[in-house]
């Protein structure tokens, strides 16, 4: 039966006891990020901004995930860059970020599509045209859907209520800038479990993000 594999997979995603408590870590991140942005605006020697987009190579990690494959998706948004010197700058971004994972069995394929509004804040150290970047990322869940496909038939299930509304993690990567054109490759590691349950479900987001950006003003 077509929907039996879907039901089995969905059952693994649903947890009986849900909680809506906010973690102290998320509050600290928001407070520190706001302070950093105000400080950046006050002490920056220059500011630039633009648009960026690119490829996401996303997956889940954790003991409770099982066998999953990378999901190829995308991100798009904008950035501001506050420079403190020729070498050091702070770059907050606002991105629509599509991630998740894929899985398959003998009956069909399953894709978990997790769409977030993400706010990465990266400290960037530049040397020549290249740079190293790292920093935290806070995300708000916009939608979560499970799509099961068997042959030419597919079914979508809304899964947003079974996942936490926020996600917190860190980015680290390399970048390059040639005039107004920017490129970067970053790895995102989620620090918080994403199922909305009271149990200790070990299930986090991971993502390899490849981006191209263009500065609309400033350097």
The confidence band for 137, taking pLDDT boundaries of 50, 70 and 90, is very high
Which pLDDT score is estimated for 217?
Answer: 92
- The residue with greater pLDDT, 31 or 115, is 115
Segment 79-99 mean pLDDT: 94
What SS3 class is residue 6? helix
Assigned token pair, 195: 């199922």
The C-alpha angle 56, 11, 167, rounded to 5 degrees, equals 40
- Tell whether the model's pLDDT for residue 94 goes beyond 90: yes
Residue 125 lies in a domain: yes
Instruction: Assess whether pLDDT exceeds 60 at residue 56.
Output: yes
- Euclidean distance between CA atoms 195 and 13, whole angstroms: 8
What distance lies between CA 26 and its chain's CA centroid? 15
pLDDT at res. 19:
40
User: Nearest Cα to 18, choosing from 164, 160, 146, 192?
Assistant: 164
Domain assignment of residue 207, yes or no: yes
- Is 123 within the bounds of a domain? yes
Average of per-residue pLDDT across 93-120: 91
Strands, DSSP E only, in 62-203? 71-83, 88-104, 109-127, 130-150, 153-158, 166-178, 181-190
Is residue 35 assigned to a domain? Answer: no
**What mean pLDDT is predicted for residues 38-64?**
82
Give dist(CA 78, CA 213) in Å, integer: 8
**Structure token pair of residue 175:** 């970048």
Number of domains in the chain: 1
Query: For the chain, what's the residue count?
Result: 219
**Mean pLDDT score, 121-140:** 96
What's the whole-model pTM score?
Answer: 0.82
| Averaged confidence pLDDT in the chain | 84
Q: Considering the domain boundaries, does residue 84 fall inside one?
A: yes
The reply to whether 99 falls in a domain is yes
Give a yes or no: residue 32 inside a domain.
no
Distance CA 174, CA 196 (A): 33
Cα angle value 209/210/215 (rounded, 5°):
115
- The domain that holds 165 is classified in CATH as 2.40.160.20
Note whether residue 131 is domain-resident: yes
More confident residue, 122 or 155: 122
Nearest by Cα to 107 from 143, 149, 71, 65: 149
pLDDT at 46: 84
Q: Which two tokens stand for residue 202?
A: 């070990």
**What's the rounded mean pLDDT across residues 157-166?**
93
Domain assignment of residue 196, given as a range: 3-17+46-217
Please report which confidence band the pLDDT of residue 17 belongs to, taking 50, 70 and 90 as the band edges: very low
Instruction: Tell me how far apart the alpha carbons of residues 7 and 23 are, in angstroms, rounded to a whole number.
Output: 31
- Residue 82 or residue 150, greater confidence: 82
């Amino acid at each position: 039966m077509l929907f039996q594999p879907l039901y089995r997979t969905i059952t693994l995603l649903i947890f009986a006891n849900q909680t809506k408590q906010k973690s102290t870590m998320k509050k600290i991140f928001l407070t520190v990020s706001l302070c950093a942005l105000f400080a950046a605006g006050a002490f920056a020697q220059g500011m630039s901004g633009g648009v960026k987009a690119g490829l996401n190579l996303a997956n889940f990690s954790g003991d409770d995930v099982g066998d999953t494959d990378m999901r190829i998706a995308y991100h798009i948004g904008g950035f501001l860059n506050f420079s403190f010197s020729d070498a050091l700058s702070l770059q907050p971004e606002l991105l629509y970020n599509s991630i998740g994972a894929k899985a398959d069995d003998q009956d069909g394929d399953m894709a978990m599509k997790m769409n977030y509004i993400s706010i990465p804040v990266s400290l960037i150290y530049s040397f020549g045209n290249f740079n190293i970047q790292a920093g935290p990322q806070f995300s708000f869940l916009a939608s979560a859907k499970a799509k099961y496909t068997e042959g030419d038939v597919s079914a979508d299930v809304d899964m947003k209520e079974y996942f936490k509304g926020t996600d917190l993690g860190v980015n680290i990567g390399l970048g390059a800038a040639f005039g107004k054109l920017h490129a970067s490759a970053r790895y995102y590691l989620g620090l918080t479990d994403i199922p909305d349950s009271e149990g200790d479900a070990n299930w986090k987001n991971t993502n390899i993000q490849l981006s191209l950006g263009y500065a609309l003003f400033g350097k």
